[in-house]
Amino acid sequence: MSELPATAPAREPLTVAILAGGRSSEHDVSLASAASIRDGLLAGGHDVVWVEIGRDGCWRHEGEPLALRPGAGVLDADVVFPALHGPFGEDGTVQGMLETLQVPYVGSGVAASAVCMDKVLFKRIMAAVGAPQVEHLGVSAARFRRARSEVLAELGRLGLPAFVKPAHLGSSVGIAKVSSATELAPALEQAFAHDELVIVEAFARGLEVECGVLGTLREQRLAGAAAAVASQPGEIVLAGEWYDYAAKYTPGGMTLEIPARISPLASERVRELAVSAFLEAGCDGLARVDFFVDGEEVLLNELNTMPGFTDTSVYGRLLEASGIPYPELVERLCRLGRERHEERVALLN
């Protein structure tokens, strides 16, 4: 597995429009991520334009509604950093809008964002390319209400405990750990309150391990770097029973061990699978890929195209431990977004 490329030379400052908030239940997480990104960019000598998207979907700049026109960019920014999590932010919808505005932006494009936001679809694609995964089943609200007994019987074959998750949310929103058969139907109903599609995953033994993936700049690829590289794997050590919302965003809820306490062979396998999943899903810029590791067995779980960037979030800490300080990381992501935009514009001309 290729190592992370050396630090890129400093270049002219950028003006970056940060999109914060959004319509999803992860609105507050987005605000915290965006604030950290803003601070990192300012520390790197860049200019920041703050655009806050309300729960009502209105885009505002300096408290006033922002008028957007196709092809006109966003507030004359050089690049947009959509620090948005969940539906209407991480699922391809905002990415499509930014494409219409003809503005460079950080992260994956429309198709990859949509695929990776749908946990069921993502797992189907990973199965098609042979990636080892946690056992799981997808359940729609319509089918559960039409064939409740049949669905519960199918899910029973996953064993207990199991985890019930909305298929299109992140940050552990709406997730329940089910330890008895009687808890399964209520957990499904709770998840259906957030999403019409739910995924149920079997309990996976071993350690929870996460790995950051970062795209490489054009000049780095010309010098022989791979298209994307992986960080050192990190291990999630929980203070509580499982990795819920509180564990992710409450100081002390979890500890990140870097490097993860796994074998060199398992560590290399994690990094290989992280980059492979990133490329097979068509991702750009960045991702955090989550695994379960039991001895030498490595199982792929999820891929997040816009992982959290808060003070307690894993992605930035993984990259920093791998040699890329936070201000450089957020700048590099902005430059990757600009390069991708330039390449797409060249294809259209």
Bridge partners, 230 (sequence order): 213
Q: Is 269 a catalytic residue?
A: no
- For residue 296, the one-letter residue type is E
Cα–Cα dist 57/157, whole Å: 41
CB 144 within 8 A of CB 188: yes
Cα–Cα dist 77/14, whole Å: 8
Q: What is the number of other CB atoms lying within 10 angstroms of the CB of residue 258? A: 16
Cα–Cα dist 190/59, whole Å: 30
CB 305 within 8 A of CB 283: yes
Q: Is 311 a catalytic residue?
A: no
Q: Is 26 a catalytic residue?
A: yes
Q: Is 290 a catalytic residue?
A: yes
Determine which one of 231, 304, 313, 322 is catalytic: 304
Determine which one of 24, 30, 36, 171 is catalytic: 171
If you write DSSP's letter for every residue of 259-312 in order, what string do you get? S-SS-HHHHHHHHHHHHHHHHHTT--SEEEEEEEEETTEEEEEEEESS---STT
Q: Which two tokens stand for residue 79?
A: 């690049």
Determine which one of 90, 210, 235, 290 is catalytic: 290
CB burial string 107-133: b at 16+ within 10 A, e below: bbbbebbbbbbbbbbbbebbeeeebeb
Determine which one of 90, 235, 302, 339 is catalytic: 302
Q: Say if strands 15-21 and 47-53 run parallel, antiparallel, or are unpaired.
A: parallel
Determine which one of 23, 24, 26, 326 is catalytic: 26
Determine which one of 170, 174, 285, 308 is catalytic: 308
- Label residue 324 exposed, middle or buried (CB < 10 Å: 0-12, 13-18, 19+): buried
Cα–Cα dist 31/49, whole Å: 14
Q: Is 302 a catalytic residue?
A: yes
Determine which one of 288, 317, 335, 340 is catalytic: 288
Q: Is 171 a catalytic residue?
A: yes
Residues forming the active site: 26, 171, 249, 288, 290, 302, 304, 308
